[in-house]
Structure 1
Amino acid sequence: MQGLEVRGLSKRFGGLTVSEDIDFDLMPGDRKALIGPNGAGKSTFSNLVTGILTPTSGTIRFDGSDIGRLNEAQRVRLGIAKTFQITTLFRDLTVRENLRLPILERERRGFGFIGRANGHTAIEAEVDDLLGQFALGGLADRKVADLAYGQQRLVELALTLALKPRVLILDEPAAGVPSSETHLIVDAIERLPEDLAVLIIEHDMDLVFRVARQIVVLVQGRILTEGTPEDIAADAQVRELYLGGGHD
């Protein structure tokens, strides 16, 4: 099977079960959202998929191969990447320099070309493509520290995409972003490559319903239900738990 396949995934910390018997698929082109209250186990699930945590039981397969023994860096090289709730950027470098770093790492060239990579036109062309895709061209030579927070999140998303992932996990991409800038995140998600498998972990229900084609609801480490945005909006239990004001 192409894509990501999770079966019977569970994680326990001593006597505390934070993920229990989760079955989950993420195929090329998917746009899925994982929602649930704080403490539901959303970040734990993403950390299990990316190799930050080791499951207590269950399997994680990618393109049919068991990746349970692979660490985080090995999974990134396979094509599984994740953005984080807090931006992890080099604030004293420019946007262009930040985007160059993951490309150099991916190409195993080292960080000797943080400055303009003269003679490496393919690298510069890829940086320019990312700047264009995320509407960052006008900010290319500004330091990240000088950008608005929503713009920083765009840089982080572009940086992650520079790794050329096949599975992209967006961990609360709108966290801390003013509502006036949320459209930047929505627009960026909508411009992602069509064949990229995307999982969005998010509390912002407006964003979720705008970009997700399937929504999975997690409660106390277990999947409560899943379906289209229309299905989820019509589910009385979900509406009471999350969409009626209790989803935060």
Structure 2
Amino acid sequence: MNDGLSIVGLSKNFGGLQVARDLTLTLPRGSRTALIGPNGAGKTTFANLLTGVLKPTSGKIVLNGQDIGSLSESARVRAGVAKTFQITNLFRDLTVRENLRLPILEREGRTHQFFRRADGWSDIEAEIARLMQDLNIQPLADKPVRGLAYGQQRLVELALTLAVKPKVLILDEPAAGVPSTESHFIVEAIKRLPQDLSVLIIEHDMQLVFEVADRIIVLVNGAILMEGTPDEVVANKQVRELYLGAGHV
């Protein structure tokens, strides 16, 4: 498959312990896929294999026809695989606009032009404005990050990740730590992501998963138990017993 991310036979061993077992799946361009599973299922390991934090024992990771399995973390970001809450940390004393300006300047190779103001590039300022509009955070533009609610800070981190222009975006528990009164902001932001962006959502909040995902992969003990639509996953008795709980039985 040349259009999207393709994972073939991906495995990871730590000595005699196998933590990822022959994972084979695709993330087509524009797909919204959720990865769920009980604690210890291997979700974080899988994300770390995709981003280059861990090197696989075997298998391939192919993005738009390019094998990226041997690339470093930074090279994978440049190739188009980005993960929220990993690309950068927020500068809490800077405003939202100033935070967003930094990764764009770095991406465009303009961070070392000492005799020009950082806010003097009209194209970059226009891109910052578009990012804030896409995530509906324009009212926060000139507020210091440290004064924002936690859910708002998550949106700023998401905007920072989008600033590197990924082809595949991994959202690692985007609602973690966000109060229930603010979680709808995260859902709305995911729904507003570019339609041609492939999104992998690793999340325990099943309400969020069912609202935004068109496909769900269930991971158990480092292996894929099943993959299907939200309705197919809910209808699977084994998934309900292992993970979803009595409320979905």
**TM-score higher than 0.5 here?**
yes
SS at match of 1:130: helix
**Which digits, 9 at most, give the CA deviation of each residue in 1:154-201, with x for residues without a partner?**
000011001111100000000000011110000000000001000000
The 2-side partners of 1:216 and 1:108 are apart by 38
Task: Tell me the residue number matched to 2:199.
Answer: 198
> What residue in structure 2 maps to residue 71 of structure 1?
72
Corresponding residue for 1:3? 4
Q: Aligned residue for 2:133?
A: 132
Indicate how the Cα distance of structure 1 residues 183 and 9 shifts in structure 2: closer, same or farther if over 3 A, else same: same
C-alpha RMSD over aligned residues: 2.0
Q: Structure 1, residues 178-228: CA drift from partner, whole Å, max 9, x if none?
A: 011110000000000001000000000000000000000000100000100
Q: Cα–Cα, structure 1 residues 111 and 180, in superposed 2: closer, same or farther, change >3 Å?
A: farther
Q: Which amino acid in structure 2 is aligned with residue 8 of structure 1?
A: G
Q: 1:12 is matched by which residue type in structure 2?
A: N
Give matches, 1:1-248, under 5 Å. Answer: 1-84=2-85, 88-110=89-111, 117-244=118-245
Change (3 A) 1:184 1:48: same
Q: Relative to 1, partners in 2 of residues 1:195 and 1:124: Cα closer, same or farther, differing over 3 Å?
A: same
**Aligned partner of residue 180 in structure 1, secondary structure:** coil
How many aligned residue pairs are there? 246
**Alpha carbons of structure 1 residues 86 and 70: separation in structure 2 relative to 1, 3 Å:** closer
**Structure 1 residues 136 and 99: CA distance shift in structure 2, 3 A:** same
CA contact (8 A) 1:85 1:172 kept: no
CA distance in 1, matches of 2:158, 2:133: 13
User: In 2, distance between residues paired with 1:235 and 1:87?
Assistant: 38
The verdict on how the C-alpha distance between 1:162 and 1:214 changes in structure 2, with shifts beyond 3 A counting, is: same
Aligned mates of 2:92, 2:17 — CA distance in 1: 38
- Find the aligned partners of 2:88 and 2:153 in 1 and give their Cα distance: 7
- Give the TM-score taking structure 1 as reference length: 0.94
Q: Which runs of 4+ in 1 moved over 6 A?
A: none
CA deviation after TM superposition for structure 1 residue 136, in Å: 1.2
- Say whether the 8 Å CA contact 1:11–1:18 is kept in structure 2: yes
Cα distance in 2 between the residues matched to 1:4 and 1:178: 32
Q: Residues 33-88 of structure 1, C-alpha deviation per residue, up to 9 Å, x if partnerless?
A: 00001111111101111111100111111111211111011111111100138983
Aligned equivalents of 1:52, 1:146: Cα separation in 2: 32
User: With structure 2 as the length reference, what TM-score do the two structures score?
Assistant: 0.94
Report how far residue 117 of structure 1 moved.
Answer: 3.2
Whole-Å Cα distance in 1 between the matches of residues 201 and 224 of structure 2? 15
The alpha-carbon distance between structure 1 residues 172 and 245, as it changes in their structure 2 partners (threshold 3 A), is farther
Structure 2 counterpart SS, 1:187: helix
- Cα gap change, 1:108/1:246 in structure 2, threshold over 3 Å: closer, same or farther? farther
Which residue identity does 1:170 align to in structure 2? L
**C-alpha distance 14-32 of structure 1, shift in aligned 2 (>3 A):** same
The alpha-carbon distance between structure 1 residues 176 and 62, as it changes in their structure 2 partners (threshold 3 A), is same
Unpaired runs of at least 5, structure 2: none
Q: Percent identity?
A: 67
3-state SS in 1 of match to 2:182:
helix
Q: Which amino acid aligns with 2:157?
A: E
Structure 1, 69-78 or 213-222: larger mean CA deviation: 69-78
- Measured after TM superposition, the shift of residue 16 of structure 1 is 1.5
Q: Is the 8 A contact 1:85 1:175 kept in 2?
A: no
Structure 1 residue 124: Cα displacement: 0.4
